[in-house]
Amino acid sequence: MIAASGIHKLPDNEERGGPLNYNVGANNIHGWPVATPRRTRYGSTSRITAHATTPGIAAASASIPRHQQRPPRSAINNSAQPKENRTAIAASVWPAVPATAPGRIISTGASAVPDEIPACAGRAAVRHPMSGPPPPPPPALPPTMEENDPMFDYPPENWIASMIGTEGLVYRFSDALAYKSHVTPREVDLMEAAGGDLAVRVLTRVVWKGARPHTGTKSAIMELGRRFSFRDDMSDGADRHACVADMFLLLERLHCGASGGKGRGRGIVHGDIKESSFVWGRDGRLRFVNFASARFVDEPPDAWDPAHTTEAYFTPKRMGWRDQQIRQSVAVTDDGSGASTNGSGGTAVAMMPMVPPPRVFDDYYALAVTLWSMYTGKKPRGRQFNQVNIRRSDLAEVDDEMVRAWIRKVFKMAGCRFWSPAHQEYGQND
């Protein structure tokens, strides 16, 4: 059991720590080692035209090892290759993909088939039957420079059947790998900074082949985690308390930068805490996913992207800020003066609301709402928990007294007060 005394307040400088947790001690969480490739920034779509034989690129490619250079266009065109060549190109991808995988790699940016395919997800390395002496050990991940990203062909008929969870952009690529579409460089950088002991591991970036020639969508292949379902996975109270304690510890380590990734010592705010943001890793421990809303604690506010947020888990303060921005961006007069209009005589056009970047306390508030959702089996609806007034009956649905007390404490720290519709009374001290 977890001592109730482990519930305490945040420090004054809430950006620096996350001690708002159960007092569970310094548990060790072991994960997988993380090695990172060289990266370059790119957008959600990219034009795939240049290769080593293009004028202006050949000179730059001369400094790139031959096995890292992009192949000529004939090698990229899968249909133009003899069957044995297509097999060789597909075999050169890292990590190795089982034959039953719904997707296939049609180009890997490598001009020669490697002699050995590195082991992936527990599979043994396979020697090429025509290879010579064993080559030096390959790097943990291939370099995925802008012009060397592997081209990926993912049949549309497999999208719905292989969709994972409710996020809509993550699919089961194989028994050990997942495919996520529209992954930004920022999200990958944050996941690598968190490390494999706190977040699922990104193995490589790929370019999904678009409908038009030489276009594609930047995506990623990552380790496949098992879906986390609190009510299905945890049967008794002791297991549930242990799971909640692990969630607190995982979040605190993320905030403090206590990870095994390259961001060690640099805290990260997740920004989108909810039940679907947790998965079970291969070692049976919880991991974070969905880093599109994350940010480094010490980075400037304008570096954060507000496009990926879940408003039902906002604090009242953040929600109030959002509402204020919406009011300021919509016309308040009939003729549209002072408003952003579409030229139709006063028709107001609502602009993208600016939401302040998440802070450490915002993650804990979202975790409190997440615990309410996990214990009640309900999803937060509308403004149920991101306004100042919260119904006592909603909080009473949590049947665990200690967890309910912690949720109440976090809500009060956010300035919330509790009321009962029957009596129209507010309570500041309950």
Give Cβ neighbours of residue 56 (< 8 Å, ≥ 6 apart): none
Give Cβ neighbours of residue 161 (< 8 Å, ≥ 6 apart): 102
165-224 tens-digit pLDDT = 555 578 887 788 888 887 888 888 899 899 888 999 988 887 776 656 566 677 888 898
Question: For the chain, where do the domains classified as CATH 1.10.510 start and end?
Answer: 4-30+230-314+355-427
Distance of CA 421 to the CA centre of its chain: 39
Contact 269, 358 (CB under 8 A): yes
The amino acid present at 361, given as its one-letter code, is: F
Strand partners, 107: 151
Name the fold adopted by 4-30+230-314+355-427: Transferase(Phosphotransferase); domain 1 (1.10.510)
CA-CA distance, 202 to 37, in Å (whole number)?
A: 10
pLDDT in tens, the chain (430 residues): 444 333 333 334 444 333 333 333 333 333 323 333 333 333 333 333 333 333 333 333 344 444 444 444 334 344 444 444 433 433 333 334 343 444 444 434 433 333 333 333 333 333 333 444 554 543 343 333 344 556 666 554 455 566 665 555 788 877 888 888 878 888 888 998 998 889 999 888 877 766 565 666 778 888 988 889 999 998 888 899 999 999 999 999 999 987 666 667 789 999 999 999 999 998 899 999 989 899 999 898 888 887 778 888 999 999 887 777 777 666 444 445 544 444 444 444 444 557 889 999 999 999 999 999 999 999 998 788 988 889 999 999 999 999 999 999 999 999 999 888 765 555 544 5
For the chain, helix (H) and strand (E) counts, in that order, are 10, 17
pTM: 0.62
Query: Phi and psi for 85 in degrees, rounded to 5?
Result: -70, -40
